[in-house]
Amino acid sequence: MYDDGRGVPRDYAEAVRWYRMAAEQGNARAQFSLGSMYDHGEGLPRTTPRLFAGTASGGTGNADAQNSLGLGYEDGQGAPQDHAEAARWYRKAAEQGNAGAQFNLALSYEQGQGCRRTT
């Protein structure tokens, strides 16, 4: 509610506080939202958002976070660039029906980055 300003004045710092509490309890959606707050520098300093979001909730099966983690590895944000690791996370999210990850995985195959090139 604080993130969107629904029913309360928009307050990113307060949103971060609540997301963090939920994320620490293992809530994958809150973990991803907190990572997005890092990504946009809302309510806290901008850091390595994709890997934060991905490592926090990618292992819990959150497809958006897994795709985001793949993007982090592809871009080298927060860790050394690793196309094979990016493709691995894209695949996990794509198998759950995440359209963005399916597209990213297809590009990985087309470009031969992290997996065998297909035509």
Could you list the residue range(s) of the whole structural domain that residue 105 is in?
12-111
- At residue 106, the pLDDT reads 94
Domain count across the chain? 1
**Has residue 119 been placed in a domain?**
no
Q: Does residue 84 sit within a domain?
A: yes
Q: What's the confidence (pLDDT) of residue 23?
A: 79
CATH number for the domain that contains residue 36: 1.25.40.10
8-state DSSP, 60: G
- Please answer whether residues 39 and 46 qualify as being in contact, where contact means their C-beta atoms are separated by less than 8 angstroms: yes
Q: pLDDT tens digits for 16-53?
A: 899 888 877 878 788 778 877 877 777 876 655 555 55
Q: CB within 8 A of 116, min separation 6: which ones?
A: 109
pTM over 0.85: no
Residue 101 lies in a domain: yes
